[in-house]
Amino acid sequence: MFEPEKLQQVAQKNIGLYKNDTRLMINKIAEDLNEIYPGHIQLKEEWVFNNAGGAMGSMWILHGSLTEYVIIFGTPVGTEGHTGRFFADDYFIMLEGEQWAFSPGELTREVFRIGEMHHLPRGHAQQYKIPEHGFALEYARGWIPLMLPFGFFDTLFSTLDFVTLYDTFRLYGKAIIGELLKGKI
């Protein structure tokens, strides 16, 4: 349903209009996406921690289904970790701050700045870092349930933050059921 280029256009438009007010920017992105994909965007702002691959941030699930998700992900204090290796393509569009990434054997980092999109193809993995702070519009396309263990294991076995685990299941489960009821897988 979603197209990475269209998501990037929406992000860049709102970066240009609201770059000095991150909360307003992300809310306007959600509103714009709801106009383009009516009934498939969660407009109620509900944030939950996300601990995965050693990195920690928070996310607002805008869309969740079995084959796609769209989230706002970020942190005001910085983070770094492993991207994970999935049967899904991942697109990370920077809204604020920077993302650094590298693959094994690379001797220099890739740098993704505000408005730029980092595409991590299915089957690939990298180390990434959001230095100091950053927020992004993230889109994944593929078999999303296979990504869930990566997204839950740090919480389940490291932080033991069962409130976050519950909230993540609740929000993503609600999104999936809502999309299935609309006939979207």
Question: Is 164 in a helix, a strand, or coil?
Answer: helix
Rounded distance between C-alpha atoms, residue 95 and residue 12, angstroms: 8
Name the class of domain 4-181. Answer: mainly beta
Name the residue ranges covered by the structural domains of the chain: 4-181
User: How many beta carbons lie within 10 A of that of residue 44, not counting itself?
Assistant: 7
Give the model's confidence band at 156: pLDDT under 50 very low, under 70 low, under 90 confident, else very high: confident
Over residues 163-173, the mean pLDDT reads 94
Supply the pTM of this predicted model: 0.94
Q: Which pLDDT score is estimated for 148?
A: 87
Nearest partner of 59 among 140, 146, 171, 150, judged by Cα: 171
d(CA 117, CA 99): 10
Q: Are 100 and 129 in contact (CB under 8 A)?
A: yes
Residue 185 has pLDDT above 90, yes or no: no
Looking at residue 151, its pLDDT comes to 84
Q: Decide if pLDDT at 152 tops 90.
A: no
